[in-house]
């Protein structure tokens, strides 16, 4: 089916799904490759030119404490310009070690806050569909298959809130909570 596979998938989902379902296309690394982000937006236009409807775009943001905030901002701006609903479908922020220092944890908290702030700032309210945090804690049992040697989540391995929790909460609230 080539690139028309998604056209058919959206048509079938619309035909057999519930009338109020919101259908999203979803991809990863859109903040690392703005060309990929542009390509996904163009693909949505292509899908719709073939008669299917895409309600939203999801971005999987598996980033780290050193990710390029300029590219994150630009990604959100590009996604907002699509006019579609926008969802951060997966968000985790690696610290690049399973035993982070206080400095690493502070950087992680700052990056969680930045992502939440940028989402709220650059995605208009009417297009905001939410943010899903990928993972719960840094407990090793939760990282057997995903980032086993890292600490990317809001709770530590003992299920205590990390600084990242406050960073995410502050970003969501738009203020220091």
The b/e string for 103-134 (b: 16+ C-beta within 10 A; e otherwise) is ebbebbbbbbbbbbbbbbebbeeebebebebb
Between CA 170 and CA 117 the distance in angstroms is 8
Q: How far is CA 100 from CA 12, 138, 141, 150, in A?
A: 46, 11, 18, 8
3-state secondary structure (DSSP) of residue 109: helix
pLDDT at 96: 95
CB 168 within 8 A of CB 150: no
pLDDT at 32: 97
- Write out the two tokens for 73: 């901002």
What single string gives the DSSP state of each residue in 133-145?
ES-SB--GGG-SS
Structure confidence by residue, pLDDT tens digits, 59-70? 999 999 999 999
pLDDT at 3: 86
Structure confidence by residue, pLDDT tens digits, 135-160? 899 998 988 888 889 999 999 999 99
What pTM was computed for the model?
0.95
In which residue ranges of the chain is pLDDT below 70?
Answer: 1
Between CA 63 and CA 56 the distance in angstroms is 21
pLDDT at 2: 81
pLDDT at 144: 85
pLDDT at 1: 64
- Write out the two tokens for 25: 């296309």
């Amino acid at each position: 089916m080539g690139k028309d596979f998604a056209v058919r998938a959206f048509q079938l989902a619309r035909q057999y799904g519930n009338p109020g379902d919101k259908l999203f296309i979803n991809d990863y690394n859109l903040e690392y490759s703005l060309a990929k982000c542009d390509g996904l937006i163009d693909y949505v236009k292509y899908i719709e030119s073939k008669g299917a409807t895409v309600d939203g775009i999801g971005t999987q943001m598996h980033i780290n404490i050193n990710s390029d905030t300029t590219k994150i901002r630009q990604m959100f701006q590009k996604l907002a310009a699509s006019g579609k609903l926008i969802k951060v479908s997966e968000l985790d922020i690696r610290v690049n070690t399973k035993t982070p220092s206080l400095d690493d944890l502070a950087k992680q908290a700052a990056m969680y806050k930045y992502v939440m702030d940028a989402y709220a700032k650059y995605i208009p309210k009417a297009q905001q569909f939410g943010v899903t945090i990928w993972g719960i804690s840094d407990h090793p049992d939760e990282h057997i298959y995903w980032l086993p040697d890292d600490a990317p989540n809001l709770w530590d391995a003992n299920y205590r809130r990390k600084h990242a929790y406050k960073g995410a909460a502050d970003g969501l609230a738009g203020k220091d909570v």
